[in-house]
Amino acid sequence: MDSDSGSVCSRSSSPDLVVDDSAGSFFSNKMFQTYCRENREDNVAGQGRTERCSGGGKTKTRSEPNKDEVQDLRLKVNSRERKRMHDLNQAMDGLREVMPYAHGPSVRKLSKISTLLLARNYILMLSSSLEEMKKLVGDVYGGSAAVQSRAASHPAITPAAPAAHLSLHPLTHSLHSLVGSTPSAALQHHTTSTAAAPHSPPSASFLGFHAPVQGLLKDPLHLTSSYRHFPGMPCPCSLCQPLPTTTSTLHSLSMTK
């Protein structure tokens, strides 16, 4: 999983070395060795369990799986489950990469729960920004019902390109104020809680359900100096860049289901 494998956190949360689930790496696994030892020890019990599952009668109507078959089956199931979890972690990494949260070697990776909570708040913020922009567009065009209905049905397709960029404006404020700060600064930015330790990920309370969205949207523009987001010009910040390929990976993951 460690997309930021060079980070402070040295633990490999998802052992990439076994991504292909090669038998060799797996068989060198300590857990597997333990498993094999234990499996031999209570092999009889295991077969008894199998018998119970298959009816447990005195006469075995089905061919009794020998210990190798049971072991192979168990290995296959474990391997599939491992791969499933790796895919899940990969998707989680993809989510982390598109989160408005500082990435870097000195920043500890967001935990799974933090990633999910932050993603939720992020989506809420985007939705709120979109609603706000719809109102703004309505105001700009004099409350024309036609425009409003068009903006409502196609929020991203506004009459003119500048309007489309305009719709990004408040969001850009919020995101820049988020990204421009360190994680701990961002944390203080959203909460009144006491200062968090540097390099520590946001706590669940920060990422929880109270408040940051409204606060973000009301924040003044914190961009430094003469930075401006000109219509027609790509924003240089990472958040305004095209989504990374991992996002398409995410999409493909969800679409293939």
Partner DNA sequence: TAGGCCATCTGGTCCT
Partner DNA sequence: AGGACCAGATGGCCTA
In the bound complex, what is the minimum distance in angstroms from residue 49's beta carbon to DNA?
6
Q: How far is the CB of 17 from DNA (least distance, A)?
A: 8
Spatial contact of 156 and 164, defined as CB atoms under 8 Å apart = yes
Q: How many residues does the chain have?
A: 257
Quick check: 114 binds DNA (CB under 7 A)? Answer: yes
Taking the complex as a whole, the smallest distance from the CB of residue 142 to DNA amounts, in Å, to 48
Q: Does 141 bind DNA (CB under 7 A)?
A: no
3-state helix, strand, coil in the chain (%, to 5): 60, 0, 40
Residue of 68, 71, 69 lying closest to 32 (CA atoms): 71
Residue 212 near residue 124 (C-beta atoms within 8 A): no
Span of 81-89, 134-142, 154-162, 229-237 interacting with DNA by CB under 7 A: 81-89
User: Phi-psi region for residue 60, left (φ > 0), alpha (ψ -120 to 50) or beta?
Assistant: beta
Residue span binding DNA (CB under 7 A) among the ranges 12-20, 118-126, 129-137, 233-241: 12-20
Distance from C-alpha of 246 to C-alpha of 34, rounded to nearest angstrom: 36
- CB 27 to DNA: min, Å: 10
Q: How many CA atoms lie within 13 A of 172 on its CB side?
A: 19
Cα–Cα distances (Å) from 98 to 17, 151, 222, in that order, read: 25, 26, 21
Question: What residues from 35 to 54 belong to the interface with DNA (CB under 7 A)?
Answer: 35, 38-39, 46, 49, 53
Residue selected from 20, 69, 72, 81 as contacting DNA according to rule CB under 7 A: 81
Q: Residue 15 CB, nearest distance to DNA (Å)?
A: 4
Name which of 186, 212, 219 is nearest 200 in CA terms.
186
What is the nearest approach in angstroms of DNA to the Cβ of residue 104? Answer: 15
Among 47, 51, 67, 111, binds DNA (CB under 7 A): 111
* 67 lines the binding site for DNA (CB under 7 A): no
Q: Which residues bind DNA (CB under 7 A)?
A: 1, 8-15, 18, 26, 29, 31-32, 35, 38-39, 46, 49, 53, 74, 76-82, 84-86, 89, 109, 111-114, 197, 199-200, 204, 257
